[in-house]
Homo-oligomer: A and B are copies of this chain.
Amino acid sequence: MKSNQTENNLPEPTKAELEILQVLWEFGPSTVRFVNDKLNEQREVNYTSTLKQMQILTEKGILKRDESQMKHIYIPVEAEEKTKVQLLDRFVNTLYRGSASQLMMQLLGNEKTSKQEIEEIKRLLDSME
């Protein structure tokens, strides 16, 4: 099958992979043990499952690791921002035909987006002038 890459970039992380990335983004470079513990705060996962995922992530080039110690330390290759931008871009293209303003409208119309959030967005825009 065709490999799933964007022009200049890494393959899209899967759902389980994203969970792991998020731990690494939040807490910085970590061991499998640490990541697995964090994941288990939310759902039950076997240690070796997490290990395997992180190995796969490394094969894919999404993570790299420091093997100088027995406890390998895993690190995302791309910065959080960059990866998120890619995902966001894909999301906008898929669901909103690339129209960021349409996405915005939905965000603003969404009850779950608080007044406070909206205010913050306005301030943000003003400061961009």
Binding site for B on A (CB under 8 A): 18, 81, 84-85, 87-89, 91-92, 94-96, 98-101, 103-110, 112-113, 117-118, 120-122, 124-125, 128
Contacts and interface: CB of A to CB of B under 8 A. Distances in A.
A87 B95 contact: yes
Contacts of A122: 125
B88 A108 contact: no
Interface of A is mostly: helix
A107 B125 contact: no
Given A18-B94, A95-B87, A100 B105 contact: no
A117 B128 CA distance: 14
A94 B121 CA distance: 19
A81 to B, nearest CB: 7
A81 B107 CA distance: 11
A15 to B, nearest CB: 9
29 contacts: A81-B106, A84-B95, A84-B96, A84-B106, A85-B110, A88-B95, A88-B103, A88-B106, A88-B107, A88-B110, A89-B110, A89-B112, A91-B91, A92-B107, A99-B117, A100-B110, A100-B113, A100-B121, A101-B120, A101-B121, A101-B124, A103-B107, A104-B104, A104-B124, A105-B124, A108-B125, A108-B128, A118-B128, A125-B125
